[in-house]
Amino acid sequence: MITNYEYGPWKVGVDIERTKEYHQSITSNLDVNLKTILTAEQVEFFESFGIDLTKVEVHHNKRVEDEEETIFSDVYSIRAMLCGDLYSISREQEELYFEEDDTDEESLFVEGERENVVVSDSGSLFDTGYSGMIIAFSHPVMYRALQAENNELDEKYRKWFCGEVFVKAIVNNK
């Protein structure tokens, strides 16, 4: 069963049970307990999608001692995969995914996939927050391309409705 969510410019449909199954297949290697760092509402944000917080990708950026403190001085970047599809994206993402360039490189998506994408004018890639987090949803094509062995990207990621959505959050709970 698909559950629909809307945050800023993103509309995403998530299969919570499939997301839970996906996360069960991942080996945890976290050295941090996110439940001691995140607020209850932030934990609920991730768990509502079926994400297991012990099996996500986490990067912790600490402030260097002599560096001036800013909002980004001590942040956690959390990345996770959802099983579902991304129905709506931000205007900035449209440019990233579909803008034509002068190179001879092959397009990220197979022909005709642009027609599957709704571009939202509500919110921005750079200002959508939820419960003290900066969040963004995206198609997994670039993330999966970076992980691909021998630069061989699975053909399913060249289709917009590929059955996966990538979610990112930046958290500073100071």
- CA distances to 11, 32, 87, 97, 117 from 100, in Å: 24, 41, 21, 9, 16
Beta bridge partners of 77: 59, 170
**Strand 118-120 versus strand 75-90 pairing type:** parallel
Q: Give the tens place of pLDDT for each residue, 41-56.
A: 999 999 999 999 999 9
Q: Give the tens place of pLDDT for each residue, 6-63.
A: 998 999 999 999 999 999 999 887 788 899 999 999 999 999 999 999 999 998 877 5
Give pTM, 2 decimals: 0.86
